[in-house]
Structure 1
Amino acid sequence: MKPDYDLIKQAVYARQEDFFAGLKEVMQINSVKADSTEDAPFGVGPKQAVLKALEIAESMGFKTKMVNNAMGYAQWGPDSSDYIGVFGHLDVVPEGTDWDYEPFDLTEDNGVLYGRGVLDNKGPIMSNLYALSVLKELGFKTTKTVRIVFGSDEESGSADIPMYLEKEPAPLYGYTPDCKYPAVYGERGVVGIDIVTTFSDDSLNQIQSFVGNFDRSSIPDTLDVTLATGEIIEVRGKRSPSNAPDMGLNTITLFAKNSTDEARFTGELATYLSWLADGFHDKHDGSGIGAGFSDEDSGSLQLSPYELNLTENQAILSLSIRYPISVTEEEVLEAITSHLVLDSELIARRRMKSTVFDRHHPMLKTMQKVYENCTGQDGTPVTTTGATYARSMPNIIAFGPSFPGQKGIAHNKNEYMDVSDLMKNMEIYALTLAVLMA
């Protein structure tokens, strides 16, 4: 039986007030990863957020379960190990500074919702819970089981996934609402590397301290450098997510470029900074260091320097690299190694191979049709530079929540989502689930 689109859409928007009230409860929990405890492996906050979501799900009449204190799920349908899974996360990155709104709350201002996690990923995964609740209240008859699964460690490596899979089977198929539209059938490979350069002279002594807001998830936008002379150089850029370096202004490479242009330093430090400026500043595709790979499905390689640490005789540059699905990690590292400077060593710290889902799977056809119906936009499946639960959880892909053209929002201050966009997500997810469950 074909779902009644108009009826579902009407019911979705009738739940807006209720949805935002429940989302606000989850948003008010500081769920940044913290020290592990006996019953909270990723800190008390992330677990509390999961428990709150399960409490809301129970009030809707769903079966709920906490798995290994790491993930929890709300289930509707026949009690079976064969299920459609929707996997989102309630942990968030640190709030950062200079917010105009309370980070750990849900604030609406002129049709826009603000708060840490409203986009990444509390808003989207909670919209799926409420979408499922809408179908339940409409008396929708399902032949398949659906689980809305709430994670607590996606931002720090997805260690919650293997803990879930210790106790529960993987889904037959499903998605994570933690990327973009249309449906994402492939995610690029990711490798995090350190380039350790050892200096044979004492030129690093020209810098007394080198302090920036370095974090793997973002392009740094502040850097304070104290020289041996006592002079302080303040470098200010523009913060952006590490998977959108072109939207930011990286203070590491900006400092290198300015220092090289002004011939500020001498010796091997000058050589190093010139290499850093020439190879990385505004060259986000890896072409500056011999790694300009690309393919038709993925586009160009993406490279993000996110940290530079200086010691007495070493510089350690940390990079996050997202490479096309047709390219191997070995090819990327070999290319970069051949373009190192001075006495340098490349060390791989973090590895995630690319993942590709069957483009002809019926689920993707459903997603394309629903997305096109709800938005009037092309729903042809795409690939992404992001890293989601789809890399760790078998049989799922990424689907939403960001619409084409929406980038660089998730990890910044004043993280936001338009009311209309969040409700459009709930509409898309409700109709998608209705078709998949029928």
Structure 2
Amino acid sequence: MSIKEQIHDLSDEMITNIGRLVAIDSQLGMPGEGKPFGEGPAEALKEGLKIAEELGFKTVNLDNYCGYAEMGEGEEIVGIAGHLDIVPVGGDWTYDPFKLTREGDYIYGRGTTDDKGPVIEALYAMKLLRDSGVKLNKRVRLIMGCNEETGSKCMEHYNEVEEELSCGFTPDANFPCIHGEKGHMSMVAYSKNTKIISMNGGFVSNAVCDACTTVIPAEAGLKEKLEEILAKTKLQEYQVTEENGTIRIYAKGVPAHASTPTLGVNAAGAIFESLEKAEFEDDFVKFYNNHIGTSCDGSGIGLKFEDEYGDLTLCNGIVKTENGVISCTIDIRVPVTLKAEDVRKMCEGKLEDENGRIEILEIGDPLFFPRESPLVNALYKAYVDVTGDTENEPMVIGGGTYAKSLKNIIAFGPEKLGIDYRIHSADEYMLVSGMEEAVLIYMEAIKNLLEI
């Protein structure tokens, strides 16, 4: 039986095990004793390690921060780092996000592609490699993290208590191979003065604000102006109602990951822009449109920049009102040739005026491995050998992965270019055919990494 046939025979078993993980709501929860990220992530880790044990692997739970399944012997470790936590469900789902639903080649559920499915793909790649009798001159360790989506504190703990990885990958991005990740910058914009009564939208900071509800004082003719202007936007849906001296605006945009905000439509941004065009005079409307806007390029705060590996992007994710103050989260992905201090100097003096202010929360340096490095070559070769695809080259992405938290690894699959798997959006899915191919690619990748 060929290796492809072996993988296909295990397909239903893999899907069942992915379903066991998808069934667990592993969003960040309230920390408890021995459960630093709450009940859900700890339960998902327990189930992930249980699946690994059922497949015959040695497992270790590292205080419910993360855990790992391991095979082989030796001083060096080939590491594979995936995560079992998820982002909030959000959006309008057609399927139950916590029940694996299959329709032909499609399998729907939160975490199917990001990142519970890939964890299982890597686990079965290890199993098939072990069962084939391949000589393991290094240990192969699959790390299952519980806090990738909200800070990667799980990998900070791993670095404190465990050995450094010799080489490896995280199956949490795209094929063919990621040799660079943009730096990450977090900001929050605050209103100083505003007539807006309330404005609330978005559900996570690392995705475009795809729905927003705003309440403002009514003005003569304003409702009609807004309806006319909103009709010309790229919003999927909008509604303007007037009663009791107020106007309520509901806007539905298009979701997108913060690393690719131009693929989405920012509902909050569309409302701010429309309010200004409708001549609604407001200090924070001016501030937002001048400093953030809908262009996604950071030009309003002096951050418009691009290099040979990509451009800087800006994403407004969450808008909320508390005690009369509107706040807007800002997620910026910084090109790999810029360091944190470069970015800070570029926006210095451009973050505040009489209408609002922007506070920098953190700036993280980018990750970059030269295209010619042995790690990049080993992984890219595995992809090409399995798929035959030589058109797509190793690339730099805006997203951030465990590669920034663990030494000597880069992101590698499982998403294929040109396919929207709806990660961080409603009806996230994976393809069964893609799952089977990914297992084979990961088998080849591990073999190549054993040789470097």
- C-alpha distance in 2, partners of 1:7/1:300? 44
Instruction: Confirm or deny that 1:222 pairs with 2:211.
Output: yes
Instruction: Confirm or deny that 1:363 pairs with 2:375.
Output: yes
1:51 is aligned, of 46, 67, 70, to 46
Match of 1:331 in 2: 342
Question: Counterpart amino acid of 1:65?
Answer: V
- C-alpha distance in 2, partners of 1:7/1:421? 18
The answer for unaligned runs of 5 or more in structure 2 is 218-244
Query: Does structure 2 retain, via aligned residues, the 8 Å contact 1:198–1:313?
Result: no
Match of 1:302 in 2: 313
- C-alpha distance in 1, partners of 2:276/2:380? 49
- C-alpha distance in 1, partners of 2:246/2:287? 25
Match of 2:145 in 1: 151
- C-alpha distance in 2, partners of 1:30/1:313? 33
Instruction: State the secondary structure of the residue aligned to 1:154.
Output: coil
Match of 2:386 in 1: 374
Match of 1:93 in 2: 87
Match of 2:424 in 1: 411
- C-alpha distance in 2, partners of 1:186/1:117? 24
Query: Does structure 1 retain, via aligned residues, the 8 Å contact 2:315–2:331?
Result: yes
Question: Counterpart amino acid of 1:215?
Answer: V
Q: Compute the displacement of 1:185 (Å).
A: 1.4
- C-alpha distance in 1, partners of 2:183/2:447? 32
Instruction: State the secondary structure of the residue aligned to 1:22.
Output: helix
2:61 is aligned, of 50, 62, 66, to 66
Query: Does structure 2 retain, via aligned residues, the 8 Å contact 1:35–1:42?
Result: yes
| Of 208-217 and 13-22, the range deviating more from structure 2 | 208-217
Match of 1:212 in 2: 201
Question: Counterpart amino acid of 1:66?
Answer: N
Query: Does structure 2 retain, via aligned residues, the 8 Å contact 1:224–1:232?
Result: yes
Instruction: Confirm or deny that 1:142 pairs with 2:136.
Output: yes
- C-alpha distance in 1, partners of 2:329/2:434? 35
Question: Counterpart amino acid of 1:302?
Answer: T
- C-alpha distance in 1, partners of 2:154/2:75? 19
CA offsets 1:381-423 (integer angstroms, 9 cap, x no match)? 2111011111111111110111112347210010011221222
Instruction: State the secondary structure of the residue aligned to 2:197.
Output: strand
Instruction: Confirm or deny that 1:425 pairs with 2:419.
Output: no
- C-alpha distance in 2, partners of 1:62/1:315? 50
- C-alpha distance in 1, partners of 2:317/2:383? 35
Tell me the number of residue pairs that the alignment of Structure 1 and Structure 2 aligns. 422
CA offsets 1:83-122 (integer angstroms, 9 cap, x no match)? 1000000011111242111111221113111000001000
Query: Does structure 2 retain, via aligned residues, the 8 Å contact 1:187–1:385?
Result: yes
The 1:211/1:315 distance shift into structure 2, 3 A limit, reads closer
- C-alpha distance in 2, partners of 1:175/1:113? 24
Match of 1:253 in 2: 269
- C-alpha distance in 2, partners of 1:311/1:155? 25
- C-alpha distance in 2, partners of 1:218/1:436? 34
- C-alpha distance in 2, partners of 1:335/1:364? 32
Question: Counterpart amino acid of 2:423?
Answer: A
RMSD: 2.0
- C-alpha distance in 2, partners of 1:133/1:44? 29
2:6 is aligned, of 11, 14, 34, to 11
Match of 2:414 in 1: 401
Query: Does structure 2 retain, via aligned residues, the 8 Å contact 1:197–1:342?
Result: no
Query: Does structure 1 retain, via aligned residues, the 8 Å contact 2:68–2:143?
Result: yes
Instruction: Confirm or deny that 1:194 pairs with 2:188.
Output: yes
Match of 1:388 in 2: 401
Length-normalised TM-score, structure 2 = 0.88
Query: Does structure 2 retain, via aligned residues, the 8 Å contact 1:337–1:346?
Result: no
The 1:313/1:428 distance shift into structure 2, 3 A limit, reads same
CA offsets 1:210-250 (integer angstroms, 9 cap, x no match)? 12234212111211112232221112211222222111110
Q: Compute the displacement of 1:373 (Å).
A: 2.0
- C-alpha distance in 2, partners of 1:313/1:12? 57
Instruction: State the secondary structure of the residue aligned to 2:315.
Output: strand
